[in-house]
Structure 1
């Protein structure tokens, strides 16, 4: 089973820095995953150029409305085992999530269940917490409510602003997502 790797389908909407971290991790021969395709709802997403330069199949899907049927068909075509949301700024509908149950994960910039939804870093600053971080979790129809796979924490300093806190969280997101994929792959490849 050493040569077996799980196949990732990564969905992005922007720069795709978490996608880039996953692609870099997959270059390690011992990493238990490989990227099969990158999909986006934004033809101008900066992450597309990175994926194309890495020779990863990239596909732009219709955004308004989001073409969920096409996303499903593409993921099946590329034999994706695990869907990784990496800054994908659209909500996936319940019927899609049912088809891909326990095979869609996301990374969120807070220690869930705290600060769900948009602007989690800003929520943390407004709440005055001294610790926040990121969470990799399974995606369910209820936003940011699926089972936690892995969390990394970061301190919130008194002089933090939105930029400094966001950058500190993003730095650990890249590590956390990679480690979460390793955990999931270990379970999947042992079954």
Structure 2
């Protein structure tokens, strides 16, 4: 008897390109998770149409009617996730800061992808800051969500070289390509039960052969 796939809810605020990557990966019958819900705080989020066309349930909890009551908004989010029996939450361009209540409610079951090699370049404008700093490698990180922004235990990372000809847009495009590979792989690790958190660090079981180092410039 095959193991039931984990039910995943993806939270978006816009076009949801990482959401689309997760949906594509989950079409494989061997993938250990199914995208069971795409939920947005914006009724006009373009990603809702993509999810609907893929046959995935969608929902909207508009944050605006809740005003400054963030927890009331998040309780509505939580109720929607539970109504769809969601087990894992993936943030994919969800542009709302989450309260400690919501984070604790989904602790160990909510992940995010950040366009930088954490702990470097937390927050916004990561690509411009990477170029300005002169780093030679940049990339993306999938991590568990904690109350501290972009500070949760790191699950996976992917790196790209920073070219001397890069501007912010060129570097962003290269990193986005890595994000679309990284997020489905990280979700698969979690959904298959291959990760655990020990002393604030993620330990992955049954890791594959260690790859060669990425060194740049060569």
Same fold (TM over 0.5): yes
Per the TM alignment, residue 60 of structure 1 is displaced from its structure 2 partner at its CA by 1.1
Specify every segment of 5 or more residues in structure 1 that has no aligned partner in the other structure, as ranges: none
1:125 paired to 2:127:
no
2:82 paired residue among 63, 76, 81? 76
**Bigger RCO (CA 8 Å, 6+ sep):** 1
Within a 5 Å distance, the mapping from 1:53-68 to structure 2 comes to 53-64=53-64, 65=67, 66=70, 67-68=73-74
Per the TM alignment, residue 128 of structure 1 is displaced from its structure 2 partner at its CA by 1.1
Larger Rg: 2
1:52 paired to 2:46:
no
Specify every segment of 5 or more residues in structure 2 that has no aligned partner in the other structure, as ranges: 196-218
- Which secondary structure state, in structure 1, belongs to the residue aligned with residue 156 of structure 2? strand
Give the match for residue 5 of structure 1. Answer: 5
TM-score by length of 2: 0.84
TM-score by length of 1: 0.95
* Cα distance in structure 1, aligned partners of 2:141 and 2:112: 8
Cα distance per residue 1:137-156 (max 9 Å; x no partner): 00111100000000000100
- Which secondary structure state, in structure 2, belongs to the residue aligned with residue 153 of structure 1? strand
Within a 5 Å distance, the mapping from 1:1-191 to structure 2 comes to 2-64=2-64, 65=67, 66=70, 67-187=73-193
Give the match for residue 215 of structure 2. Answer: none
Per the TM alignment, residue 182 of structure 1 is displaced from its structure 2 partner at its CA by 1.2
Per the TM alignment, residue 2 of structure 1 is displaced from its structure 2 partner at its CA by 2.5
Cα RMSD (Å) of the superposition? 1.3
How many residues are aligned here?
189
User: 4+ residue stretches of structure 1 with deviation over 6 A?
Assistant: none
